[in-house]
């Protein structure tokens, strides 16, 4: 696995920063984080949580879990970069870190799901630029006018 000097597994001290990033990027409400990350910390789940550190501060995080009933398929459920650090290649570095880590442990496929709304056009462009293919679109999945878009990449 390639070394990514600024990226490491999430630690408990990162949680307040992850909450701030999640809120600032509107990924999910910060109140949901404790339930989401508890299985990672108590090791009851096989989740991967990772953080990008800059000058001792957590400025990005990602969360991925294996897809049930599959062989080597994982789903990236969240990746967020603090707004003031977006557009600097940090998100792409986070994706490469995750892809390298998953490939090193024998994973085959990484999926990413997002919404097909105009507000998330830049997000969909980000995944395309990072080598992901739009594999599926479920119309009006989340609500009227909000398709579910599934991106796919072979590792």
**Residue range 36-51: mean pLDDT, rounded:** 96
- 38 lies in some domain: yes
**Residue range 85-108: mean pLDDT, rounded:** 96
The CATH number of residue 140's host domain is 3.40.630.30
- 1 lies in some domain: no
- pLDDT higher than threshold 70 for residue 83: yes
- 122 lies in some domain: yes
Q: What is the pLDDT of residue 84?
A: 96
Q: What is the pLDDT of residue 140?
A: 96
**Residue range 131-136: mean pLDDT, rounded:** 98
- 2 lies in some domain: no
Name residues whose C-beta falls within 8 Å of residue 119's C-beta, 6 or more positions apart in sequence. Answer: none
- pLDDT higher than threshold 80 for residue 1: no
pTM over 0.85: yes
Residue 14's domain comprises 7-154
- 57 lies in some domain: yes
- pLDDT higher than threshold 90 for residue 2: no
Tokens describing residue 116: 């097909």
51-67 pLDDT, tens digit each? 999 999 999 999 999 99
Instruction: Please state, rounded to an integer, the average pLDDT across all residues of the chain.
Output: 95
Q: What is the pLDDT of residue 4?
A: 84
For residue 148, give the H/E element and its range: strand 146-154
**Residue range 69-94: mean pLDDT, rounded:** 96
Q: What is the pLDDT of residue 50?
A: 98
Q: What is the pLDDT of residue 9?
A: 96
Would you report the helix, strand and coil content of the chain in percent, each value rounded to 5?
35, 35, 30
Overall number of domains in the chain: 1
C-alpha 79 chain-centroid distance: 3
């Amino acid at each position: 696995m390639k070394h990514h000097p600024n990226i490491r597994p999430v630690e408990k001290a990162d949680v307040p920063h992850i909450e701030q990033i999640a809120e600032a990027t509107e990924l999910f409400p910060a109140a949901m984080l404790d339930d989401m990350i508890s299985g990672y910390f108590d090791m009851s789940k096989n989740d991967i949580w990772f953080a990008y550190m800059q000058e001792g501060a957590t400025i990005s995080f990602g969360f991925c879990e294996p897809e049930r009933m599959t062989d080597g398929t994982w789903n990236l459920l969240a990746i967020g970069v603090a707004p003031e650090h977006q557009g600097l290649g940090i998100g792409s570095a986070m994706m490469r870190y995750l892809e390298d880590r998953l490939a090193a442990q024998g994973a085959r496929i990484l999926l990413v799901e997002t919404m097909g709304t105009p507000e998330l056009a830049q997000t969909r462009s980000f995944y395309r630029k990072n080598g992901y293919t739009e594999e599926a679109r479920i119309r009006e999945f989340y609500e009227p006018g909000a398709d579910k878009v599934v991106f796919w990449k072979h590792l």
